[in-house]
Amino acid sequence: MKFDLQQWINTGRLKSPWVAHYDCGSCNGCDIEVLACLTPVYDVERFGIINVGNPKQADVLLVSGTVNPRNRVVLKNLYDQMQHPKAVIALGACGLNGGIFQEAYNVVGGVDKVIPVDVYVPGCPPKPEAIIDAVVVALGKIKEQLEKADRGQAVNG
């Protein structure tokens, strides 16, 4: 019975990724594309994806833009407040490695300089389809984590 419940929970985890979106200093190009996903044209709710404003209730963190010394703390805090299991998606060229700003004096670099990133979505900006695909891939990552956990390892240490 307990095993069954665990399996149900795993099913639920894969079917209900709640997304929190943090803009680290993007030019808003990526953010517009994220918003596009929520419109009826792309209708991400079909996959159970909901955009929540609260990292404490989110499963997936979407980060766009370059990380700088001011917001790296915020990014880390938001990530820490998410409950396990969780995944992070870095959006766009800036999120990946700082993009065209990577040489700037106030840029730390990509998102993965601060928190572990599971999925990278290139593009300037990425297409909405790519973002939706990234969430699906992130779910695969969560599934991997869960399988690892089933084999007795800690969940996403």
Partner 1 sequence: MVEFLVFLCVIFPVLAGGAAFLDRSNALKKRLVTVTGGVLTLASIALALRGGGSIPFSSALAGAMSTPIHVLDLALLCLIAYIGWRRSHRLILTLAAVQLAGMFVLGSYLHPEVAAEAPAFTVDSLSLTLVLVVSIIGSLIAYYAIGYMAEHERHLHLVRTKQPRFFAIILVFLGAMNGLAMADNLSWIYFFWEVTTLCSYLLIAHDDTEIANTNAERALWMNMAGGVAFVLALLWLQSVQGTLSLTALQAMARSGAKEAAFLLPVVALCIAGFTKSAQAPFQSWLCGAMVAPTPVSALLHSSTMVKAGVYLVLRLAPLSLGTTVSTMIAVCGAFTFLVMAALAAGQSNGKKILAYSTISNLGLIIACAGINTPAAIAAGMLLLVFHAISKGLLFLCVGAIEQKIGSRDIEDMRGLFQVMPKTALVTAFGIVSMMLPPFGMLLAKWMALESSVEASAMPVLVVTLALGSALTVLFWGRWAGILIGSLNPRLELAPETQEATMGFAVRSLTIGAAVISFFAPLLYLWLVEPAVQAMFADVSSLSFNGWYGGVGNRYGIFAVYPLYLLIALGFWYAWNETKKHAVSGPELPYMSGVQAAQNGTIGFIGPMKGFVEAKGGNYYLDAFFGEGRLIRPTNYIALALFVMLLGGVLQ
Partner 2 sequence: MIAKLFFGLIGLAVAPVLGGIIAGLDRRVTARMQSRFGPPLLQPFYDVLKLLGKRPSAVNAWLVLCSYLTLMSSALAVFLFFFQADLLLIFFVMTIGAVFQVMGALSVNSPFSQVGAQRELLQMLAYEPLIIMVFVGIALKTGSFSIENIYALEQPLLFSLPILFLALGVALTIKLRKSPFDISTSHHGHQEIVRGLLTEYTGPQLAMLEIAHWLDVVLILGLCSLFWSTGMIGMLVLLAATYFVEMLVDNISSRLTWQWMLTRVLAPTMVLCLVNILWLYTL
Distance CA 154, CA 157 (A): 6
Q: Which span (6-14, 29-37, 99-107, 119-127) binds partner 2, by CB under 8 A?
A: 6-14
The string of DSSP letters for 57-80 reads G-SEEEEES-B-HHHHHHHHHHHH
Long-range contacts of 7-12 (CB under 8 A, 24+ apart): 10/143, 10/146
Interface mask (CB under 8 A) for partner 2, residues 38-57, using x and -?
x-x--x-xxxx-xxxxx-xx
Q: Kindly state the helix (H) or strand (E) to which residue 21 belongs, with its residue range.
A: strand 18-23
User: Which positions from 40 through 59 interact with partner 1, judged by CB under 8 A?
Assistant: 54-56
In angstroms, give the least distance from the CB of 54 to partner 1: 6
> Which residue's CB is nearer to partner 1, number 11 or number 106?
106
> Hey, is 156 helix, strand or coil?
coil
In angstroms, give the least distance from the CB of 124 to partner 2: 27
Q: Is residue 8 a contact residue for partner 2 (CB under 8 A)?
A: yes
Q: Is residue 152 a contact residue for partner 2 (CB under 8 A)?
A: no
Q: Which span (4-12, 25-33, 111-119, 124-132) binds partner 2, by CB under 8 A?
A: 4-12
> Hey, is 13 helix, strand or coil?
helix
Distance CA 101, CA 156 (A): 31
Interface mask (CB under 8 A) for partner 1, residues 68-107, using x and -?
-----xxx-xx--x--------------------------
